Amino acid sequence: METASILIVEDEGLIALDLRKKLEQAGYTVPAIADNAPDALIAVERFNPSLVLMDIRIRGPQDGIETAGMIRKRFQTPVMFVTAHADRDTLERARITEPFGYIVKPFHSVDFRAMIEMALWKHKMEQKLRISEAWLSTTFRNVADALIATDKEGNVAFMNKPASKLTGWDWREARGKPLLDVFQVFEEATDLPVFHPLDAVYEGRELGTTPKTYKLRARDSEDSVLVESEMSANRDEGTLLGIIVVFRDVTARRRAERQQQQLQKMNSLALMAIGLGRELADSQRRMDDCLKQLIAQSHGATLRMLGDVYQLSSYQHSVVQQLVALGKTESGEAVSVDVNAVLAELEGKFRKALGVRRTLHLNLQQDIPSIKADGVALRENMMRLVVDARQAMPDGGVVEISTSALEVDGNPERVQITIRDTGKGIRPSARERVFEPYYQSRPGNANPGFSLALVYQFVALSGGTIEVEAAPGRGVAYHMRFPAVANPPHRHDLGNQRMAVSA
């Protein structure tokens, strides 16, 4: 067993020599004796003792308490105070330096040795704990998932960087705060706050091992993300130490799942659409040819009636064309498209489609990247959304079309096109079904047919996503996000256009 070395810091020479003798008789080594703070610090750095026996009253401007604090901070070496001054104020000052014990002069050899051994053991355990905490902290910090650990009262004891990013809390600020003040989660279906997991533990119920999905609201934010979370009780030999919460952002995954489900629904229609649509289109052309011949040979009431029939036939033809388009499983010819240029080009057609009592605003962010898409299909589907906005505003309103570049780590990753109207909102229960064929999501709105389903299909086949933002009395916004082209070609500089066009 290695012999412990003990540094003596004492300004009374005879006492220091007596102390050294007693220590060596007890089996310890004494590498040096110092009587002031600078010499004590030099000796600690040189000899790296196992323990420092520190007199509170020493030579120089720094007393033993100040010197112990410097040793503790710089070297993490344990310090015991040896003093004849055991008054309350002195001990209170000394306690701040976290000493490993006190030996009050005069001392007896038996107590003396026992107290030193206890201090050395305590320091050894503290080092083990520090190493264990450092290892645990490093492990937690390198976990890819967000992680929060609480104490037994349910207050935050630790959180890693992913948890800080998702919750909006710096872990130093969050420490000691109640878990649900930091991890602000709500039931996905009802938006009701989640009960504290410790409540279940104290009631004798075990926390479920199946991950649950919640809405997480970050600090100082009204928006929320979907997180998949697992909560477990942290126990040590049956004693409850707290709760460990592991969670991850699944917003993108859930969006991809919804997109896949939507495409699967549409693919089930595609088999019918491909065959039936072409057959109907062929018969539709023949019927139109016949109607044209009859119209050419008719007059009076018969001509007017045939004119009405031809208009109905034209509408039916457009439905058939949409049905054929719905059967597509691949995007059209994808080319680099300057979104701002396309929207500026369509401004006149948008104005005409919106009709009277409706205002159009274009808000195009300057110099955004291009996207890769079928330019013709982009124009068709933007028009479909404008028509949808018109139908939602029978008494007039405002339509805003905006573009922006969404950046990740300073690099543009996606281009967003948003079309927002001030018309009738979407029922909360209908948000998941907005893009289903013929689903009427807005009260009193005209039958959408395949229109919104085709928009969804176009965005998905172009590698993008589309989301609906809706709130009662605030209309509806469709956010389309497309992958940005890494090296876009030279584009027309449209500036930061803000056009208000009364229609």
239-263 average pLDDT score: 80
- Distance of alpha carbon 47 from alpha carbon 77, whole angstroms: 11
Helices (H) and strands (E) in the chain, counts: 14, 19
24 confidence band (pLDDT: 50, 70, 90) = confident
460 confidence band (pLDDT: 50, 70, 90) = confident
CA 37, distance to chain mean position in Å, is 51
Q: Look up the pTM and report it.
A: 0.49
391: its two tokens: 């139908």
Write out pLDDT tens, residues 333-376: 788 999 999 999 999 999 999 998 899 999 999 989 999 999 99
In this structure, what CATH number is given to the domain that contains residue 240?
A: 3.30.450.20
Same domain, 161 and 213: yes
- Does any domain span residue 1? no
Same domain, 291 and 398: no
Q: Which of 116, 138, 160 is the last residue of a domain?
A: 138
Q: Which of 249, 273, 299 is the last residue of a domain?
A: 249
Q: 86 φ, ψ to 5°?
A: -115, 25
Residue 74 CB neighbour total at 10 angstroms: 11
DSSP-derived 3-state class of residue 154: coil
Write out pLDDT tens, residues 220-234: 887 788 998 888 887
Which residue from 56, 172, 44 is spatially nearest to 105, judged by alpha carbons? 56
Residue range(s) defining the domain that contains residue 419: 335-502
The DSSP bridge partners found for residue 336 are 372
205 confidence band (pLDDT: 50, 70, 90) = low
Q: Please check the confidence at residue 476 and state whether its pLDDT lies above 80.
A: yes
Identify whether the C-beta of residue 186 lies closer than 8 Å to the C-beta of residue 192. Answer: yes
- Does any domain span residue 406? yes
Same domain, 93 and 42: yes
DSSP-derived 3-state class of residue 492: coil
- Does any domain span residue 414? yes
- Distance of alpha carbon 45 from alpha carbon 174, whole angstroms: 37
- Distance of alpha carbon 251 from alpha carbon 227, whole angstroms: 7
SS3 content of the chain, % helix, strand, coil (to 5): 45, 25, 30
- Distance of alpha carbon 421 from alpha carbon 406, whole angstroms: 22
Number of domains into which the chain is organized: 4
Q: What is the pLDDT of residue 139?
A: 54
Same domain, 82 and 158: no
Same domain, 348 and 467: yes
Residue % of the chain over a pLDDT of 90: 18
Same domain, 485 and 342: yes
Same domain, 396 and 460: yes
- Distance of alpha carbon 350 from alpha carbon 232, whole angstroms: 55
- Does any domain span residue 295? yes
Which residue from 408, 432, 403, 433 is spatially nearest to 419, judged by alpha carbons? 403
Identify whether the C-beta of residue 72 lies closer than 8 Å to the C-beta of residue 97. Answer: yes
Same domain, 232 and 263: no
- Does any domain span residue 475? yes
Same domain, 372 and 413: yes
19-30 average pLDDT score: 86
Tokens 């100040």 locate to 66
- Distance of alpha carbon 306 from alpha carbon 290, whole angstroms: 11
- Distance of alpha carbon 492 from alpha carbon 500, whole angstroms: 20
DSSP-derived 3-state class of residue 226: strand
Secondary structure string (H, E, C) spanning 255-303: HHHHHHHHHHHHHHHHHHHHHHHHHHHHHHHHHHHHHHHHHHHCCHHHH
Same domain, 347 and 493: yes
- Does any domain span residue 14? yes
Q: In what order do the strands lie in the sheet with 212-217?
A: 156-159, 146-150, 239-249, 224-236, 212-217, 185-187
Same domain, 349 and 465: yes
Same domain, 317 and 346: no
Measured CA angle at 277 (ends 272, 280), to 5 deg = 125
421-450 average pLDDT score: 72
Q: What is the pLDDT of residue 499?
A: 37
Q: Which of 87, 117, 138 is the last residue of a domain?
A: 138
Which residue from 46, 48, 50 is spatially nearest to 4, judged by alpha carbons? 50
488 confidence band (pLDDT: 50, 70, 90) = very low
Residue 261 CB neighbour total at 10 angstroms: 11
